Amino acid sequence: MSTVDPNEEKGPDTSGTPSAPSNFIREIVREDLKTGKYEGRVHTRFPPEPNGYLHLGHAKSICLNFGLAKEFGGKTNLRFDDTNPSKEETEYVESIKDNVRWLGFDWEDRIFYASDYFGQLYEWALQLIKAGKAYVDDLTAHEIRHYRGTLTEPGKESPYRNRPVDENLELFERMRKGEFADGSRVLRAKIDMASPNLNMRDPVMYRIVHAEHHRTGNKWCIYPMYDFAHGQSDSIERITHSVCTLEFEDHRPLYNWFVEQLGIYHPQQIEFDRLNLTYTLLSKRKLLTLVEERHVRGWDDPRMPTIAGIRRRGYTPEAVRNFCSAIGLSKTNGTIELGMLEHFVREDLNKRAPRVMAVLRPLKVVIDNYPEGQSEMMDAVNNPEDASAGTRKVPFSRVLYIEQDDFREDPPKQYYRLSPGREVRLRYAYFVTCTNVVKNDRGEVIEVHCTYDPASRGGNSPDGRKVKSTIHWVSAAHALDTEVRLYENLFTTEDPNKTEDGQEFTAHLNPHSLEVVSKAKLEPSLQGAPIEARYQFERLGYFCVDRDSTAEKLVFNRTVALKDTWTKIEKKAEAKPGKTITSEKKPSEFSKAPRS
RNA sequence: UGGGCCGUCGACUAAUGGUAGGUCAAGUGCCUUUGGAGCACUUUGUCUAGGUUCGAAUCCUAGCGGCCCAGCCA
């Protein structure tokens, strides 16, 4: 494989993959390659802890790590950082593998576990004890915290800090054998209790945990801490660039200290900024709470920012990858607008999603001059962005459904859709003109009557007459009943992490984040659509088939709505009550209207 | 208040001492059998104050602001 991107210095990228701007990590790698720091190797790793489902923040890291290796002809390992048996499960391991694959990345045969290295790590601990660099401490967790000092005051040395090497060796061996209770002793590195970096104040290397590990079972009852496992795992795998998020910056001196004391291969840790998205929570802990407290239907609820969730929502791996490359990489603490993510699904789905007609909130339309019992097949284009997608037939008949939003008895200014006396086009069918309406007891329009122009078949009138709008429709007799799930942001505030005193983050949960439309109508061509298939429902948005679908009834998720200029016009009018978009009629007359 | 990191259009990100550019958003126009898509155009930015320099977003100093750290979590 070539290590050089042929498009790199030739101006605009024509490969189809959007070229991401460079970033500081790429520059570091480039420089290391130039100086031969790692003999020309680039080897990264993606190291999740299998204690939950992956989310968009992980997607950023996955794209970074695999992307870097791919760009420079290197390799990426998948490594599970499974050093805390009390939180980790095989279910999570499986979902993580699945998610990485779905995103389109391949670790080939390089799947590793920190638990693979427990034996080696134990040997290294022994080595540090023998060198007088580690000791067994009998202090309680509370006492250790107390001795550690504070941000502004130095810590105090533990009374056990200067135990003889032999005693440390014996005690550590007995810890390993399971002679002591959880929490009774730890192994600590002997560094500097006065260090301004709290991580260097004799950090804990091993703790006692009598718990079953998802892979090693009960073989071990002492487990290495992150700091004692991560750098060494990178070292064993001969990782060159160990990238992680900003909060580990303060751990870098410790990362370096361990590999230096041990005298082993030294990878370099580089930190980048974590992903933040407006209206979204990207914290495994809080996402777990949402699942456990049943605020959502599971880890793959389409409202969740998990990889599983956005997949079920209908996002494509390409959209996620394009998003990750577009947001760039830096050390700034920023928050990306959710609209950016949505842009990239729309962009991708616009090119590939077949168009189809569906009516979410049906309003019955009767074409009075269309023969009863007659129906005909209209030709419809599957994807105007892609000629190779071809056409399909859609049945038309006398009784149709249109969207309730597409009819207004009192049309406001700039409203171009159907209203009494007005002619519009039914997409791929005929021009129709509204002649009258039928209302129920509450004065609501329940049926619209129209006449059609037989000469406008296909959607154009031979006399060159123009209409202001084209609306979608479904033939009532042929329609498929379907359930459609509409989603809004899970949270109502831009930063759901910010809460007032005593408030849980769940206080900002959006009560309307899920709306189930149970009586939507679909054109019949969708019969038998497979799970995960994605479509554009014309004029409405992108939708995908949910796995809750059955042979009798399809269930769709709305991935994202189409950009909606009309809603924007309406909102602007609301904001400026001066020049309103209310009725074309006089205000007094409008106020007497039966509806609202 | 100790230490670490970071401040560029509304948001994200480039410019590596030499033309402040791109994407998203917003807006205007064109086009349109999706009020979609597309096309064209437009608006807004270097945290502040000093200094070094022919020249500073970039280097230095001092302020100001933000994020992270006191788990036997990762």
Residue-level pLDDT at A15: 34
Mean pLDDT across A252-276:
98
Give the pLDDT confidence of A405-461 residue by residue, as tens digits: 999 999 999 999 999 999 999 999 999 999 999 999 999 999 999 999 999 999 999
Which one-letter DSSP state was computed for residue A524? G
The A 531-560 residues near strand B by Cβ under 7 Å are 536, 538-539
Tell me the one-letter amino acid at A460: N
pLDDT at A478 over 90: yes
Contacts made by residues A100-108, CB under 8 angstroms, sequence distance 24+: A100/A46, A100/A54, A100/A62, A102/A307, A102/A311, A102/A317, A103/A59, A103/A62, A103/A63, A103/A307, A103/A317, A103/A320, A103/A321, A104/A317, A104/A318, A104/A321, A105/A62, A105/A66, A105/A76, A107/A46, A107/A76, A107/A77, A107/A78, A108/A75
pLDDT at A587 over 90: no
Which of A57-61, A127-131, A352-356, A572-576 is predicted least confidently?
A572-576
Strand B and A251 CB separated by under 7 Å:
yes
User: Residue A327 CA to B15 C1' — how many Å?
Assistant: 17
Strand B and A584 CB separated by under 7 Å:
no
- State the Cα–Cα distance between residues A525 and A509, nearest whole angstrom: 37
Instruction: List phi, psi (to 5°) of A336.
Output: -85, 140
The question of ipTM being above 0.90 is answered as yes
Mean pLDDT across A339-343:
98
Residue-level pLDDT at A501: 75
Question: Which string of DSSP letters, residue by residue, matches A160-187?
Answer: TTT--HHHHHHHHHHHHHT-S-TTS-EE
- State the Cα–Cα distance between residues A418 and A448, nearest whole angstrom: 10
Question: Which string of DSSP letters, residue by residue, matches A194-222?
Answer: T-SSGGGSS-EEEEE----BTTTBTS-SE
CB-count exposure of residue A453 (10 Å: 0-12, 13-18, 19+): middle
Give the pLDDT confidence of A294-340 residue by residue, as tens digits: 999 999 999 999 999 999 999 999 999 999 999 999 999 999 999 99
Q: Give residue A2's pLDDT band: very low, low, confident or very high (50, 70, 90).
A: very low
Positions of strand B less than 7 angstroms from a protein CB: 1-8, 10-16, 21-27, 33-38, 66-74
- State the Cα–Cα distance between residues A182 and A239, nearest whole angstrom: 33
Q: How far is CA A462 from CA A187, A199, A369, A395, A548, in A?
A: 88, 80, 19, 22, 46
Q: How far is CA A464 from CA A121, A180, A378, A429, A456, in A?
A: 81, 90, 20, 16, 10
Find out whether A574 and A568 touch, Cβ atoms under 8 Å. Answer: no
Give the pLDDT confidence of A90-135 residue by residue, as tens digits: 999 999 999 999 999 999 999 999 999 999 999 999 999 999 999 9
Residue-level pLDDT at A300: 98
Give the pLDDT confidence of A66-86 residue by residue, as tens digits: 999 999 999 999 999 999 999
User: Residue A504 CA to B63 C1' — how many Å?
Assistant: 37
Mean pLDDT across A573-584:
53
Nearest nucleotide relative to A227: CA against C1'? B74
Q: Tell me, yes or no, if A284 is annotated catalytic.
A: yes
Q: Which of A26, A49, A97, A392 is catalytic?
A: A49
User: Residue A274 CA to B18 C1' — how many Å?
Assistant: 34
The A 400-459 residues near strand B by Cβ under 7 Å are 414-417, 425, 427-428, 458-459
Q: Give residue A11's pLDDT band: very low, low, confident or very high (50, 70, 90).
A: very low
Q: Give residue A576's pLDDT band: very low, low, confident or very high (50, 70, 90).
A: low
pLDDT at A237 over 50: yes
Residue-level pLDDT at A10: 29
Find out whether A78 and A46 touch, Cβ atoms under 8 Å. Answer: yes
Residue-level pLDDT at A22: 87
Chain mean pLDDT for chain A:
93
Find out whether A215 and A82 touch, Cβ atoms under 8 Å. Answer: yes
CB-count exposure of residue A408 (10 Å: 0-12, 13-18, 19+): middle
Q: Tell me, yes or no, if A274 is annotated catalytic.
A: yes
Tell me the one-letter amino acid at A182: D
Q: Which of A274, A286, A297, A361 is catalytic?
A: A274
Give the pLDDT confidence of A162-177 residue by residue, as tens digits: 999 999 999 999 999 9
Which one-letter DSSP state was computed for residue A50? S
User: Residue A334 CA to B44 C1' — how many Å?
Assistant: 19
CB-count exposure of residue A399 (10 Å: 0-12, 13-18, 19+): middle
Q: Give residue A591's pLDDT band: very low, low, confident or very high (50, 70, 90).
A: very low
Give the pLDDT confidence of A519-534 residue by residue, as tens digits: 999 999 999 999 999 9
Whether pTM > 0.90 for this model: the answer is yes
pLDDT at A39 over 50: yes
